[in-house]
Chain A
């Protein structure tokens, strides 16, 4: 099993540019999560999907952030326009969770380290 795949692993961009982060969840998993990790705020959940449908996006910091999951095997997190304070490591995680069931184990990707200059 390849695990959760994220690309790119590192991204350096200039303020104002659009950034797109990509995630491929583990095959068969029906839940996908986007997290952001910074020294100041630790790990924060940005948004999560169940069966490709966004369930809770209350963690998305502002309208500059958007996430999509067009199918069960792919998701994107887009920042437009990017700002220096968006610099962080962004993790994608997936899990297999039956409807109404308990939280199942989330498997994390290696992360994308984003630097906005």
Chain B
């Protein structure tokens, strides 16, 4: 069975400090993994995806994530937070047939 767990429901950082959003997955085979971002009252936008190429994946807006098979993790990071990064972030694992399983989301707050 496949599942995804986002370890923090809410993360708060100061502008200019690093961001770490944690995600662990469970998959019976080599998964495809995604991070999506949702700004208030908006749809979901793809940040980045992992599909068994390089384990360090770079996405938009300075975000990146590292696939660690031994830890079954796919944490999202950014060296320096910006006010515009405040949003909800979803870690997503693929399922057979193209279905996606979404984590419960992590709300990121950025303080000035």
Contacts and interface: CB of A to CB of B under 8 A. Distances in A.
Most buried by B among A31, A91, A105, A111: A105
Contacts of B98: 31, 48, 50, 95, 97, 103-104
A102 interface: yes
Contacts of B49: 105
A110 B43 CA distance: 4
A111 B46 contact: no
Given A43-B90, A43-B102, A103-B100, A108 B45 contact: yes
Nearest to A4: B43
A56 B97 contact: yes
B46 A55 contact: no
Contacts of A25: none
Report the contact-size class of chain A (Cβ under 8 Å from the partner): 20 to 34
Most buried by B among A42, A50, A102: A102
B99 to A, nearest CB: 6
Interface in B34-68: 34, 36, 42-46, 49, 51
A102 B32 contact: yes
A109 B99 CA distance: 17
A108 B43 contact: yes
Report the contact-size class of chain B (Cβ under 8 Å from the partner): 20 to 34
Contact of B99 (A42, A45, A107, A110): A45
Interface string B70-107: 00000000000000000000100011011110101100
A12 to B, nearest CB: 16
Contacts of B32: 102-103
B46 A103 contact: no
A52 interface: no
Contacts of A105: 34, 46, 49
A73 interface: no
Given A43-B90, A45-B100, A103-B32, A91 B43 contact: yes
Given A105-B46, A106-B46, A111-B42, 7 more contacts: A4-B43, A33-B99, A45-B100, A48-B98, A50-B98, A56-B99, A108-B36
